[in-house]
Amino acid sequence: MNYPRILIAGVAAWIASIALGYLINDVWLLRLYQANAWAFRRADDIAELLPIGLGAQMVGCLAFAYVYAKGYEGEGSRIGEGIRYGTVGAIMICGFATVWNYVTEPIAPRLGVLEVVAVIGQFGVYGAIVGLIYDRKTVEISS
């Protein structure tokens, strides 16, 4: 395995997750979140906890890149393989966690569905990024 590429791919996915998270949550779904605001923490409370979330998300992105590298088949397009990997991972996450947001939080059904769509789309993008960056080959340093 190419550990430097795993690290680069994980950090790139993390940076993308911050940008996509902003676009999805603070632009696309903003009105739905505002309509369901009573079910969520206030912005000030979220700001205090943000470092915990970003740190956990970094660890998740590094694990995401590592698991991609462990299962890397090397057949066909690396981007295509990454998108497939990300999509399957997102379906697992939605089954274990995202759908449970709707089940346990009193949010509108539309918001629950759109959160699932958002997670699947995001993870497809993260997979494409990791697939593009990760290469099994290691760089040899010659003296």
Query: What residues have CB less than 8 Å from 96, skipping those under 6 apart?
Result: none
Distances (CA, A) of 71 to 1, 57, 65: 10, 21, 10
Q: What is the pLDDT of residues 29-73, one digit of tens each?
A: 999 999 999 999 999 999 999 999 999 999 999 999 999 999 998
d(CA 81, CA 74): 8
Write down the pTM of the prediction.
Answer: 0.91
Domain locations along the chain = 3-133
Q: What is the pLDDT of residues 60-118, one digit of tens each?
A: 999 999 999 999 988 889 999 999 999 999 999 999 999 999 999 999 999 999 999 99
